[in-house]
Chain A
Amino acid sequence: MTDTVKNTLLFAVVFGLIITSGFFQGWNSAMFILNMGLISAIMALGVNLQWGFAGLFNVGVMGFVALGGLAAILVGMPATPGAFAAGGPGIILALVLGIATIFSAVFTMKKMAPGRTRSLTITAILIFGFFVFRGFLDPNVELIEGINPAQTGYLGGLNPGTAETYKQNGWIMLFAWPVGGLFAAGAAWLIGKAALGLRSDYLAIATLGIAEIIISILKNEDWLTRGVKNVIGIPRPVPYEIDLQSSAVFVDRAASMGFDPVEGSTILVKLLYAVLFAAVLLVLFWLSHRALNSPWGRMLRAIRDNEVAAEAMGKDVTKRHLQVFILGSAICGIAGAMMTTLDGQLTPGTYQPLRFTFLIWVMVIVGGSGSNLGAILGGFLIWFLWVQVEPIGLFVMNIVTSGMAEDSALRAHLIDSAAQMRLLTMGLIMILVLRFSPRGLIPEK
């Protein structure tokens, strides 16, 4: 069996699974699995770029995904009337002063001779700068958060519409996706500059930390993201179900195809999303595929396989690492913006590392690290399992406990705990693949 046949078969199996689930659980849920599968596949591509190509161990995927979500609201939502006038300039000034503080500290460090005086000067600059920063930031934050806190209380975004009309500008979300990538790239540049020169597990710890920090910023800086009050009603690049249902043309066409308008419209909307996401996935896949087989990709793999030898051949290891770290994180940011668009809301409280960082890692490992096709396959397969393990677990638990008394406490506990089967299953899959098939389903060539 050639590789092409095998890979086609694998993909056919995964899509067959998704289609089968459509017959049993309805097409809406199957389309949901497909859409999130597309997004997961993009995230897996990003992580594969870092780990598979360059051997960089990034466990901060969640942070980059969340930054993409931030871009979605900063681009897609309308500006809150009066918010920018109230506190905008003050906040910008505060941020500029904060950055200036950091730069002057770095500058001092480079210019002064090492010693106690230097440490003291830097500490003094940082402490003074921090208080100035907070002094300018806090009052302006209060001003912005004071504007209609139940509805807005944040700056809003760049959408040209007003609170009533902004949903007509759904096209703007398509621009939010690359912006999400840029946000993530910016954060990746900062982390990469600081942590890439260090040993591999330090990068892991650093990215783990930065992801938590990004989430706590999203949760707490209400002026930017409304925090845990969530931003809802993000516009869509596709039509709304309600509009479709009230359009006579659509209702006729749905009826002729045997769908009732409600079901038909929800499926059509999801289908349109799927087309958009698939287009992004194909473009990114094509780019990564070209990158993998280009001289640049070969250089990266050479660095991954033997850093010392590559360095001896005159390759700039740190610079290449930084490059690929930024690119991979940007892809995760794009996927994050797409996910927030699909959800239609930004809920900082729902970002959990197990779901957004470690699950993506399972996808890459299972699919085959170093292989783009593998990352995509892993994205679909693992996402499908992640969704389906819960009903399957419930089914199994019901069978296992069917012999027990109706009111048995153990039975109730076992059925309740079926919902927790996901993590266990994912861990088992990951460990089994690492042990018995460490190169994954579609190995790197």
Chain B
Amino acid sequence: MDFLNAIVALANYVLIPGIAYGSQLAIGALGVTLVYGILRFSNFAHGDTMAFGTMIVILLTWWLQSLGINLGPLPTALIALPVGILGCIGMVLLTDRLVYRFYREQKAKPVILVIVSMGVMFIMNGVVRLIIGPDDQSFADGERFIISARDFKNMTGLAEGLGIRTTQVLTVVTAVIVVALLFWFLNKTRAGKSMRAYSDNEDLALLSGINPERVVMLTWIIVAALATIAGTLYGLDKSFKPFTYFQLLLPIFASAVVGGIGNPLGAIAGGFVIAFSEVTITYAWKKVLVYLMPEPLEPSGLVQLMSTDYKFAVSFVILLIVLLFKPTGLFKGQST
């Protein structure tokens, strides 16, 4: 019984939040890695792109809510999501047209593009704060729990409860669909193949008649969609605040680099590695250990390896270890 309780506690506090957070990071990191693979720079504006897309979703959700439209048990934001994606695509394509294209034609060094993306980050951050303000916004509605901790206890008679929130299941389901669609697109369609070819060898791709501007446009469209989905899922699961989205940049970069930057499969793996390390290292293990250890050995403290405020440190240390020992990442990414 104790063993079962320990497993349930572990699932409730570590596994489920970890999987949900990992999926969000993975979708975010996919965006960073695609920009890196095709456009060949680290996009510092990615966090704020996520915030921009999510902002449109939130505004639309509020409007729908005021009209009384909802999806019953599911969050209303799902109806708003496609429009949010379209809005974000528009914004990103506009940015590319006005800002990035000039440097692409000049064949500017990647580091110049990174600095330019810093400017874009400022502007997007400013726009988001201008429109929705710098404060926390909550926009989740619908059924909060699929199974609440109390129902679970009543059902099983265990001392530990297992609560599964709707947003967590939604996150995982969406992530699976998104990733499946993306890989189908990259591997099976002509456009996806041209993207991969362009990423592997630009000159060869140009020689075989691939239109680079089309590839770049496709990439931005996909990146905007991924960013909006990741941002909305994160916002539903936690809450929306422009500054938090900017800070997400660090774990997202860490996921992309750990997995091997430029490699979509690596981005997913990296997302889960980072998410689980953050959750396990900042979780107070006392609850689980109390069930597993014989009474005299029970821990007196919280058995928390590091306080939750150090979660940045966790993603950073993992990033550093991977960079030092395997600079191309767990899955072979682009190292140049």
Contacts and interface: CB of A to CB of B under 8 A. Distances in A.
A213 B116 contact: no
Contacts of B133: 416-417, 420
A195 B322 CA distance: 11
A423 B125 contact: yes
Given A420-B130, A423-B129, A209 B115 contact: no
Given A420-B129, A420-B134, A201 B118 contact: no
Nearest to A426: B122
Band of interface residues on A: 35 or more
B313 A216 contact: yes
A354 B246 CA distance: 9
A114 to B, nearest CB: 10
A286 B3 CA distance: 69
Given A194-B320, A209-B315, A416-B133, A435 B111 contact: no
A355 to B, nearest CB: 11
B250 A424 contact: no
Contacts of B335: 199
B126 A425 contact: yes
A354 B253 contact: no
Interface in A394-440: 416-417, 420-428, 430-431, 434-435
B330 interface: no
Contacts of A86: none
Nearest to B124: A427
B102 A201 contact: no
Contacts of B316: 206, 209-210, 212-213
A179 B44 CA distance: 32
Contacts of A201: 41-42, 110-111, 114
Residue of B131, B133, B246, B312 with highest tally of chain A CB at under 10 A: B312
Contacts of A361: 115, 118
A427 B129 contact: no
Contacts of B305: 130, 134
Interface in A352-370: 352-354, 358, 361-362, 365
Contact of A198 (B131, B249, B327): B327
30 contacts: A55-B111, A57-B111, A57-B115, A201-B42, A202-B257, A204-B42, A205-B257, A205-B319, A208-B249, A208-B253, A209-B312, A209-B319, A212-B250, A212-B312, A220-B307, A354-B122, A417-B130, A417-B131, A420-B133, A420-B134, A423-B123, A423-B129, A424-B126, A424-B130, A426-B126, A427-B121, A427-B124, A427-B126, A431-B116, A435-B99
Interface of B: 41-42, 44, 99, 102, 110-112, 114-116, 118-127, 129-131, 133-134, 243, 246-247, 249-250, 253-254, 257, 301, 305, 307, 309-310, 312-313, 315-316, 319-320, 323-324, 327, 335-336
7 tightest A-B CB contacts, nearest first: A427-B122, A424-B126, A427-B123, A423-B126, A209-B316, A430-B119, A420-B129
